[in-house]
Chains A and B, each alone.
Chain A
Amino acid sequence: MPRPWSSLIRTWNFKHVLVPQKGCFSSISHLKTLISVNSIRDNVSKFVVRSRTTDPFLNLAIEDHLLKTSDPNTHILFTYVNRPCVVIGRNQNPWLETNLAALKDGVPAATVEDECSRQEVLLVRRRSGGGTVFHDEGNLNYSFIVPNDKAFNRDKHAEMVVQAIQGMSLAAISPHLTKGIRVNERHDIVMPARTESGLALDEQQTVKVSGSAYKLTRGRALHHGTLLFSSPNLKSIGRYLRSPTRQFIDAKGVESVRSPVGNLSFSSELSIRTALKDEIEKSIAAIFEERYPHGKANISMVGESDIEGHAAIHAGIGELKSQEWRFLQTPAFTFTNQQLPGESFKPGTQPTSLPTSTKVVLKAKHGMIIESHISLSENQDVADAEARQARAVIQNKKLHEIKNWQQVFVGMDRWTHPSTGSLVAWLSDMFPATPG
């Protein structure tokens, strides 16, 4: 009788999964084996997974799937690199944290030929907490998925990464590049600021090289972080992460704590950057293998071809890509150009093209406008009429679905103020059309 290729087994959370038997080899089975088999029985409880894809949605979906379905006694290290994207935290506000218009323009290309193929910078909302970061091919993401027990603490893996960096050949050859690198009290990895030529500035001034975020579930803990090893877009990061609406939005949820960032070791040669990335991955994997028990780690790669037909991961990708997840998971916020009575939030200065009588207040919950007052006129009655008309159009509309503010104001006969055009332009700047 032929040996079955796979058999049905019951996993720790009582789900039944198909598990490939010995002698059957396929890459999809590898991912399933990784997460479904009772790994301790097979005497392997450490896994190092490297991603071959740069699709941020796919990488985050795989990471989430590993967190949700892995055996509770396993330790997993998952490393991946994303194509240029801005990743906001679980309950952050995309309008507040990023410059959505700048995202559409894409990353400045290195050569003129590449200008034509500029891809837009994606907007991604991850499932863990923390602030907003910019990812590109010069940024390595590491993700540790371990049991959520007494041995876990928020600094442990950041320290492992610092140890890995200091154990690299880079540290041996150019010790000034990695001298002073350490974990700070916010669980970030910082190093002393350096000048262009690599000379160290004042020891007290540090730049952030890596930031961390966590997702803790019952029994499992996920700690993932970025690592700016060699990003060519360091100077553009500020542009993407500085939103023009910042001074006008009063939001609940986690606000990003801004810090100056720096590369570990920048090189203009792509091959050197790739080699550096490989070395960092190997170094982190080596420290990971050393620190956690039960012998050698099972090393594997995962890419797009491996997850074909994997329903759970595709569902995860779908959710991460959806507008609902990216925009409607935004906590309640208020957009206002004037200080509201009873509120302590002081907005910034509106453009000079707008009259001082302008009043724009938008209250949004779950990404939907629940209350609004938009008016230009000094005359109270006219202002109320204007506001009523505008409200009728935008009330209960999803903010990200308003593609064209010009369209919103079409046909509003009460809006006779000459600065209406400026107001439309300003609103279009504040809330640009989102892709998709």
Chain B
Amino acid sequence: MKRWPVRSTVGLPHSHYYIPRIRPIDKSPLFRRKFQSGACWSAIRTQKLGDVGEGITECMLNMWFVEEGARVEEWDKLCEMQSDKAAVEISASYAGVIKKLYAQADDMVKTGAPLADIDDGLPVEEGSAAETSQEHQEDGPSHSNRDEKGEQVKIEAGAGEEGGTQRRASAEADLNDEMRSDRSLLATPAVRGLLKQHNIDISKLNGSGNEGRILTEDVQAYLENQKESPLSSSAARSTQAVESEQSETIQPLSRVQSQMFRTMTASLAIPHFLYSDEVNITRLSGLRKRLNLSRETQDTNISLLAFILKAVSVSLNQNPLLNARLDAADNLGKPQLIYRRNHNIGIAMDTPAGLFVPVVKNVGALSILDIAYEIRRLSQLGNAKKLSPAHLSGGTITVSNIGSIGGTVVAPIITEGQVAILGVGKARVAPVFGQGDLVERAEIANFSWSADHRIIDGATLARMGSMVKHFIEDPEKLMVFMR
């Protein structure tokens, strides 16, 4: 094949150059329509050394894995480069035959310098090729092609219209624009294939990669949006005319919120079941009021929560399973229970910074007054945003006094690492039947338990729930059992 002077490729963004065969390029429509011949252009693509990262501008070539004349597939190992601490394997961007290697082993190669020429052997149409090369020259300075893999330019031969020079010129201009916008949106060949497969216009997407590069995730997100929009558009059509626009402000999660997000996502794996009961706290309420008026408890009020914590702890002595931890899979893959002796009860606390669950350690060894002091200390720390990880860790069971804000029955979420949780609703005044079927006034609160149904069955939880209820309804019974 005769080699004619190659059109200059200096300053062109693309990495193609063509070896043209002699042919009069006559653009008259008659000529183009009738003139047919076999493929005459052969595309040789130059693979350049891409950015290796870490601000490195040149690397040393360690070794080639291919030689001139070898056939490579896309992604085959081409060579190994070395830059300071990293040995990096470069893969071939194109499939084809290696025509030329630009560097030898031990040579330094700069980022962006050519590495190898690969002849992909694909024939390119004559007409479009001529326009392509013309386009390359025209568009030359307007692009910065830093994509390591180069880009395949898809030329729509839409300029195949007959017509005068003017129309052709405008068609070429349209092609220019299309190619300019086409090329200015970076995307790898794999992503472009995906776009073509789904018939998506590349200019409709926003890239989220380096320098606005379009990634597969962007394509997928766009496809999902497309799926939703037909439904929403029909709904929109049926709604009334004047509606204020929904405005959205984006705010990242605060530290506490993201921690909550993480822990609750982890808790999703636990199968919960809810057990709720009404507890008559009239007598306990009366006892509390009397105690809080007496001298011993001047500096702090003993809250209902302190009694509940002690009641739960004493009940746990009889139901140790609820204080255990489930190890879902140890080294052998078998789940096992880890019983814990100390009752470290976490109390859910609403602080200015959000939800925290500090732990009252070893409730079994504390008196109710001690527990009350501890609750007060922790809530003061919480309000001052001074709770440390040590305060928040080590819990074996949790009690959430959401009733202090409101609510009757709640379905609390078990913390990871525990198997049960108690939520206390708001105390309300209600009539109950007392002795002799007489209606009397009572204060009722709902105790809602959630437990991990993988190891706790309904009967176990019901026993626990009933025991706590008895201790709360009859505080004297608590006195008998507490240590």
Contact = CB atoms under 8 A, between A and B. Distances in A.
A13 to B, nearest CB: 10
Interface stretch (B4-12, B81-89, B163-171, B334-342): B81-89
Contacts of B54: 154
Contact of A253 (B60, B63, B86): B60
A296 B329 contact: yes
Task: Tell me if A's interface is mostly helix, strand, loop or mixed.
Answer: loop
Contacts of B331: 299
B106 A216 contact: no
Interface in A228-257: 252-254
A331 interface: yes
Given A90-B62, A90-B82, A154-B54, A129 B87 contact: yes
A214 B87 contact: yes
A213 B82 CA distance: 11
A350 interface: no
B82 A253 contact: yes
Given A90-B82, A252-B106, A365-B106, A127 B60 contact: no
User: Which residue of B63, B87, B89 has the most chain A CB atoms within 10 A of its CB atom?
Assistant: B87
A332 interface: yes
B85 A91 contact: no
A366 B329 CA distance: 53
5 contacts: A91-B60, A128-B86, A129-B82, A329-B62, A365-B106
A3 interface: no
A205 to B, nearest CB: 23
B91 interface: yes
A217 interface: yes
Nearest to B215: A150
Interface in A126-143: 127-131
Contact of B87 (A212, A216, A366): A216
A130 B91 contact: no
Contacts of B89: 215-218
The 8 closest A-B pairs by CB, nearest first: A214-B86, A130-B85, A217-B89, A331-B106, A129-B87, A218-B91, A216-B88, A215-B87
B75 interface: yes
Interface string B72-114: 0001010010111111110100000000000001100000000
Given A90-B62, A91-B62, A331-B106, A218 B75 contact: yes
Interface of B: 54, 60, 62-63, 75, 77, 80, 82-89, 91, 105-106, 329, 331
Interface residues on A, range: 20 to 34
Nearest to A331: B106
Contacts of A154: 54, 85-86
Contact of B60 (A213, A331, A365): A331
B106 to A, nearest CB: 4
Contacts of A331: 60, 105-106
A38 B331 CA distance: 21
B85 A187 contact: yes
B87 A128 contact: yes
Given A91-B82, A213-B87, 12 more contacts: A89-B85, A90-B62, A127-B87, A128-B85, A128-B86, A129-B85, A154-B54, A217-B88, A253-B60, A296-B329, A331-B60, A331-B106
B106 A332 contact: yes
Contacts of B87: 90-91, 127-129, 213-216
Nearest to B329: A296
Contacts of A90: 62, 80, 82, 87
A129 B88 CA distance: 9
A385 B331 CA distance: 74
Contacts of A128: 85-87
B106 A253 contact: yes
Contacts of A366: 105
Contacts of A216: 86-89
Interface string A277-298: 0000000000000000000100
Contacts of A91: 60, 62, 82, 87, 106
B347 to A, nearest CB: 27
User: Which residue of B63, B85, B331 has the most chain A CB atoms within 10 A of its CB atom?
Assistant: B85
Contacts of A127: 87
Contacts of B88: 215-217
A128 B89 CA distance: 11
A253 B60 CA distance: 7
Given A91-B62, A252-B60, A299-B331, A215 B86 contact: yes
Contact of B86 (A213, A252, A299, A365): A213
Contacts of A130: 84-86
Contacts of B80: 90
Contacts of A329: 62-63
Contacts of A217: 77, 88-89
Contacts of B82: 90-91, 129, 253-254
